[in-house]
Structure 1
Amino acid sequence: MCEQERVHIVFVCLGNICRSPLAEGIANALYTQAPNTPSLEFSSAGTSGFHNGDPIDARSIAIARENGIDIAHYTSKQVSPYTHSDVDLFVAMDRSNLAALKAMGFESHKIVLLGDFGLGGAEVPDPYYGGADGFKKVYAMLQNGIADLLGRFKR
């Protein structure tokens, strides 16, 4: 992947209101601190349209803000073969989203589980129905997994 001029990475969760927009924000923040990394572009989307066009969950915004990242302007969007045909890598938060991406017809070699990057294969749990502690745990997992993922792109 590193031979390309730009690599487009999309983080994917179910509704694109908690995990994947937080992952996008973390990736952008870590990327600005990553020397010797090729041109990377990050975005996020959900496999469902439950929240399409909705603002990001306030708890994701809060944990991001606590860590110096602003994702307040993000809005939820659904992944689609029509709007995501230029994607080089889909990074799924859990195995259900991984399977959904494959069922949508995306090429298997372009789909990975974030948990396979420094997280021992763990799924990033959906914190939606939990409290602030769940969002803190998810933030830490995302930060570790994304740091490992970005490390794979260094020249």
Structure 2
Amino acid sequence: MVRSILFVCHANICRSPIAEAIASKIARNRGLDLTIDSCGLSSLYAGEMPCNYSVRIAGEHGIDISSMRARQITYKDIDTFELIIAHDDKNRLELMEMGAKNVLKLGAFGYNGGDIPDPHLFPSYEGVDEVYAIIERCVTNLLEELTEK
């Protein structure tokens, strides 16, 4: 069974912190021994907390992500994590260009293989709840699949 999962999106301020928090909560509740983390491909927001939309929607689901801080992926991450989960095709391709071989797309686990929409690009809070639901469904399915193996 996989023992470490890294969730990767563009900047690590919206989708990947939500995925990390959901996965960590599920792992804790199920007693799974997993190392779970998240990061972004860009350093644009490194050191900053997740975006307000993500903090708000996670809070509405009983998860506090306000203490998380964005960080950029490193080559050590690629070597260390057994499974790297990209949120969209662009992320997946960039990770593969960096040499990552263990990359899967989160949307393959409950979103028909689609790209997970980026709430940071939304003009308002409307629709962020749908993105949270997509991430939650996909992360739940991913962890179920991993624990069945």
Would you call these one fold, judging by a TM-score over 0.5? yes
1:58 aligns with 2:52: yes
SS of the residue aligned with 1:42?
Answer: strand
Give the alignment partner of residue 36 of structure 2, picking from 39, 42, 48: 42
> Who is 1:144 aligned against?
137
Maintained 8 Å contact 2:7/2:86: yes
Maintained 8 Å contact 2:87/2:116: yes
Q: Which amino acid aligns with 2:7?
A: F
Moved over 2 A (4+): 32-35, 82-85
Q: Distance between the aligned counterparts of 1:56 and 1:12, measured in 2?
A: 14
Of 53-62 and 138-147, deviating more is 53-62
Superposition TM-score, scaled by structure 1 size = 0.89
Q: Structure 2, unaligned stretches of length 5 or more?
A: none
1:71 aligns with 2:65: yes
SS of the residue aligned with 2:84?
Answer: strand
Q: Structure 1, unaligned stretches of length 5 or more?
A: none
> Who is 1:10 aligned against?
6
Maintained 8 Å contact 2:57/2:128: yes
State the percentage of identical aligned residues: 33
SS of the residue aligned with 1:22?
Answer: helix
Give the alignment partner of residue 122 of structure 1, picking from 99, 114, 138: 114
Maintained 8 Å contact 2:40/2:72: yes
Pick the structure with more helix per residue: 2
Count residues with an aligned counterpart.
147
SS of the residue aligned with 1:82?
Answer: helix
